[in-house]
């Protein structure tokens, strides 16, 4: 997660999902996987949903909150929004390089120990086996966050090479011990120049209870009612 991404369509999707599935008796922890600085890429520019009021129906409070920081975007600004319960824990220490990664991950785990459910927000989702990258979570880190059967939500952007079904099967295979299910979203929002392209984001939920699974299916139905959205849940059993 970078400051340049704060408040974009990915944030609206992931925060509305979390607000739908995290019950009042659960304490939420956010593992930002924060990376300081701008990467000079156009990523994070997708705020077009704020110009389409139909999106507001999904979560009016969240929509208005994100609209309020449209011109003052940062992870800190997100944490200060009045959309979180006071018990919410945020881990925003910048991701360390390989040599300090284990210590950084242990610090993250310790900071989020009291959380009942964790959202992990690395830019590139889960890294390949044996690969340690600042923009990805390692499988060992996800296993740590999933300790004691704690639910974990992990964002993923499918690769452009290879069929999505095969990618999802491999993703679920790596996480099989945590009974994964994935909310697959494809959002098309028209740009200012009138063009539009689909933007695909997946959210994998690990160790989901029956209540969480039911809430995900309810969220799926509500999200699907918005124009330009395709959404599917894979892994419900």
Q: For the chain, which residues make up each domain, given as ranges?
A: 3-234
Q: Residue 74 contacts by C-beta under 8 Å, 6 or more apart in sequence?
A: 3, 6
C-beta separation of 49 from 189 below 8 A: yes
> In the 8-state DSSP scheme, what is residue 162?
S
Q: Are 159 and 124 in contact (CB under 8 A)?
A: no
Name the residue among 187, 195, 185 with its Cα closest to residue 227: 187
Q: In this predicted structure, what is the pLDDT of residue 41?
A: 63
- Residue 188's pLDDT is what? 84
The Cα–Cα gap between 69 and 32 comes to 18
Distance, in Å, from the CA atom of 171 to the CA atom of 162, rounded to the nearest integer, reads: 13
The H or E element spanning position 227 is none
**What does the pLDDT look like over 55-97, one tens digit per residue?**
999 999 999 999 999 999 999 999 999 999 999 999 999 999 8
According to DSSP, residue 56 is labeled G
Average pLDDT over residues 216-228: 94
- Helices 210-224 and 9-21 cross at an angle (nearest 10°) of 140
Contact 20, 58 (CB under 8 A): no
Confidence band, pLDDT 50/70/90 cuts, at residue 43: low
Helix (H) or strand (E) holding 169: helix 164-174
Give the C-alpha separation, 99 to 165, whole Å.
Answer: 35
pLDDT computed for residue 40 by the predictor: 60
- CATH class, domain 3-234, is alpha beta
- The pLDDT value recorded for residue 228 is 86
Q: Tell me the pLDDT tens digit for each residue of 2-32.
A: 999 999 999 999 999 999 999 999 999 999 9
Q: Which of 3, 121, 12, 10 is nearest to 73 (CA)?
A: 3
Closest CA to 154 of 128, 106, 119: 119
Residue 237 pLDDT exceeds 60:
no
**Distance between first and last Cα of the chain:** 31
pLDDT tens-digit profile of 111-168? 999 999 999 999 999 999 989 999 999 999 999 999 999 999 999 998 877 799 999 9
Contacts with 208 (C-beta within 8 Å, 6 or more apart), sequence order: 151, 179, 181, 216
Distance of CA 115 to the CA centre of its chain: 16
* β-pair type (89-91, 117-120): unpaired
**Highest mean pLDDT (candidates 31-40, 69-78, 181-190):** 69-78
Q: Output the pLDDT for position 158.
A: 87
């Amino acid at each position: 997660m970078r400051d340049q991404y704060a408040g974009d369509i990915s944030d609206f999707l992931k925060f509305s999902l979390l607000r739908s599935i995290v019950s009042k008796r659960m304490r939420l922890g956010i593992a930002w996987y924060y990376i300081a600085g701008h990467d000079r890429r156009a990523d994070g520019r997708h705020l077009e949903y704020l110009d389409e009021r139909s999106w507001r129906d999904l979560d009016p409070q969240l929509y208005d909150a994100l609209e309020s920081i449209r011109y003052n975007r940062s992870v800190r600004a997100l944490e200060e929004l009045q959309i979180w319960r006071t018990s919410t824990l945020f881990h925003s220490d910048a991701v360390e390089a390989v040599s300090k990664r284990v210590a950084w991950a242990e610090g993250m785990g310790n900071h989020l120990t009291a959380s009942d459910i964790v959202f992990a927000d690395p830019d590139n989702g889960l890294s390949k086996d044996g690969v340690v990258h600042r923009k990805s979570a390692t499988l060992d880190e996800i296993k740590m966050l999933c300790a004691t059967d704690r639910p974990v939500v992990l964002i993923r952007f499918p690769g452009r090479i290879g069929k999505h079904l095969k990618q999802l099967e491999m993703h679920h295979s790596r996480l099989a011990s945590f009974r994964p299910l994935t909310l697959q979203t494809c959002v098309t929002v028209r740009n200012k120049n009138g063009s539009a392209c689909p933007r695909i984001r997946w959210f994998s939920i690990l160790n989901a209870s029956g209540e969480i699974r039911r809430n995900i299916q309810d969220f799926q139905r509500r999200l699907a009612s918005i124009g330009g959205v395709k959404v599917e849940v894979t892994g419900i059993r």
